[in-house]
Structure 1
Amino acid sequence: MLTDDFQTALDADGLIVPGVGAYAACMEGLRAVKGDRIIGRRLAGGRPVLGICVGMQILFARGVEHGVETEGCDEWPGTVSRLEAPVVPHMGWNTVSVPDGSALFAGVEDDRFYFVHSYAARSWDLVTNDRTSAPLVTWAEHGGDRFVAAVENGPLSATQFHPEKSGDAGARLLHNWIQSL
């Protein structure tokens, strides 16, 4: 179901946050429908959220595009910035480096996924302690530039790539996420 209704999105079994275009425009649209509050409330209640592409990027604290810094949802620390690879955008199929124990990538750990982006989180700054479990961070590389390709963090998961454009591997990943609902 596609909705911009606050209560419907809050009550859904799972929430997918897609994103197309620029970080600032995505955040503006999300805030216009109180999407940032929906995400925060869902996560506070342990309700699953999946961010895809820019929908993943806006989960970080901030994004910088064309010299403009925009505050994100701040679910994870860090800044989304332009890739430093020789060829940008990163467009096409790529492998990912999946950590042990990933439920999201079960059965597709060695597959390729479809990426279309010029910006990404290029570092992971979240420090864990005895009270918090470490998120599972999946990495990818484009033109020698390493970036976060996916994160599994309790009820919050996200992919920089497009699972819906990634053939059987993407379908399996989405199936895995749906099974977690």
Structure 2
Amino acid sequence: MQKIVVLDYGMGNLHSVASALQKVAPGDQVVLATTPEQAEGADRLIVPGVGAIRDCVEGFIRPGFVPLLNQCIESGMPILGICVGMQIMMARSEENGGVDCLGIFPQPVKFFGTDLHENGERLKVPHMGWNRVYQKIDHPLWRDIESGSRFYFVHSYYVPAEGNDAVAGETDYGVQFASAITRDNIFATQFHPEKSADAGMQLLKNFVGWNGSN
């Protein structure tokens, strides 16, 4: 039996994530951890996130989750980031007047509202609802998911796809953005797999069976 730890730092729809995990991995233990101690013995780690980036970063730092996350990265443990859980891994976000993030990836997080469609109209924010994710690399978390499958999004800020060598999935919303990124034992999605019907459940199932390498 695996121990799957979902970090609870007060900024995520944790119960829907936990419920989805229990459906795809009924024989495993799903733990909502509010302290690093509760994450001890984890076999895999999930970093969710919903809300303002400043609150998310502060909430993540306060209980000591940064050293825990770094240890999990160094150990090769499979890690999944979801929505703002992906954005806090970036270098810096434009949200809240500019916020330094964890810097695990060097890319920035930008605001959709300053970008324009080809027709010159500003992009509507938030980007909310179903959109297609086009797979840019072959990765174990894409197993049995067709490129171009629809996933569910709710976000006003995004990680650019252009010049981003970490892109695993890309989506078009007037601009091309990274809807999934990966490096080594980290895979993170801007969309919510727990809200994305069959494709999302398959991704979570793939994560539960992933060994942390490509």
TM-score by length of 1: 0.88
**Correspondences of 1:88-167 after superposition (within 5 Å):** 88-110=125-147, 111-123=149-161, 135-142=166-173, 144-167=174-197
Aligned-partner residue type, residue 81 of structure 1: K
Which one has a bigger Cα radius of gyration?
2
Cα displacement (A) at 1:5: 2.0
Q: Could you tell me whether the CA contact under 8 Å between 2:167 and 2:178 is conserved in 1? A: no
Identity %: 39
Separation (CA, whole Å) in 2 of partners of 1:62 and 1:171:
30
The partner residue of 2:44 within 14, 20, 26 is 14
Q: Could you tell me whether the CA contact under 8 Å between 1:104 and 1:152 is conserved in 2? A: no
Residue 203 of structure 2 aligns to a residue whose secondary structure is helix
Separation (CA, whole Å) in 2 of partners of 1:112 and 1:158:
16
Aligned-partner residue type, residue 104 of structure 2: E
Aligned length: 172
Consecutive unaligned residues in structure 1, runs of 5 or more: 127-133
Q: Could you tell me whether the CA contact under 8 Å between 2:73 and 2:186 is conserved in 1? A: yes
Measured against aligned partners, the alpha-carbon deviations of 1:12-48 in whole angstroms (never above 9, x if no partner) come to 1111111010111100100011112211111011112
Cα displacement (A) at 1:124: 5.6
Consecutive unaligned residues in structure 2, runs of 5 or more: 1-30, 116-121
Q: What is the alpha-carbon root mean square deviation over aligned residues? A: 1.6
Cα displacement (A) at 1:8: 3.1
Residue 177 of structure 1 aligns to a residue whose secondary structure is helix
Measured against aligned partners, the alpha-carbon deviations of 1:126-174 in whole angstroms (never above 9, x if no partner) come to 6xxxxxxx645211111x1111100121111100000000001100000
The partner residue of 1:174 within 188, 204, 209 is 204
Q: Could you tell me whether the CA contact under 8 Å between 2:90 and 2:106 is conserved in 1? A: yes
**Are 1:47 and 2:77 matched, yes or no?**
yes
TM-score by length of 2: 0.75
The partner residue of 1:77 within 106, 112, 118 is 106
